[in-house]
Amino acid sequence: MNCNCILAGVGGQGVLSIAAIIARAAAEAGFSVRQGEVHGMAQRGGAVLAHLRLSDGTIHSDLVPQGAAHLIISMEILESLRYARWLSPQGALVTAAESLVNIGNYPDPAALRAAAAAFPRSRVVEAAALAKEAGLPRAVNTVMVGAASPFLPVPPETLESTIAGLFAARDPALGEANLRAFRLGRKAAACQ
């Protein structure tokens, strides 16, 4: 079993945190994990990309080949489409519905949403609203981990225990809010 993931977004949205959560949970579940990051212009709101590969065998490279991604997880809808050429024909695209208009000629958000929804296995998630509903507006990235979880080989219980361990160590209320965000994201993806 192999699962190749591309994680995309804009600097400051938590792309690398998503990669860390999934990688830690996958390792805990017994998978081999390789992660390659391309940080981009994170401090200036530029594109951020991470490659994440999970396997029950040996992984020979950190980077996902174009056309071989089983999953794209994106924090920003334009970024999901920027890396679509990495997606395999059977792959899933999971993206936050919200646009982060950070350039003057940003494409029409409605057209971007329609393009993302056109992929056969896509989930366009109202992640910001779900994070707010969870009680932690900054937990959009945790919502996206939940939304992507049905497409990951890692058991959801393992993802939950990883999230709880990472956030509850800082503050138990933070751990609970992130668990709510994860569960809301998972539910949203299942309903589409």
Neighbouring-strand partners of residue 8: 49, 74
In order along the chain (192 residues), what is the average pLDDT of each group of 10 residues?
93 88 97 83 72 94 94 93 94 92 82 88 96 96 98 97 91 94 96 77
Question: Smallest Cα–Cα separation from 59: which of 22, 96, 34?
Answer: 34
Q: Where are the beta strands (DSSP E) in the chain?
A: 2-10, 32-38, 47-55, 69-74, 87-96, 122-125
Q: Which two tokens stand for residue 6?
A: 């591309």
174: amino acid identity, one letter: L
Question: Smallest Cα–Cα separation from 18: which of 146, 175, 184, 191?
Answer: 146
Report the alpha-carbon distance of residue 106 to residue 10 in Å, rounded: 14
The half-sphere exposure of 171 on its side-chain side, counting CA atoms within 13 A, is: 5
2-190: what CATH class? alpha beta
For residue 107, the model assigns a pLDDT of 86
Rounded to two decimals, the pTM is: 0.93
Provide the 8-state DSSP code for 108. P
Q: Beta 87-96 vs 122-125: how paired, if at all? A: parallel
Question: What does the domain layout of the chain look like in residue ranges?
Answer: 2-190
Neighbouring-strand partners of residue 49: 8, 38
Sign of CA dihedral 99, 6, 65, 70: negative
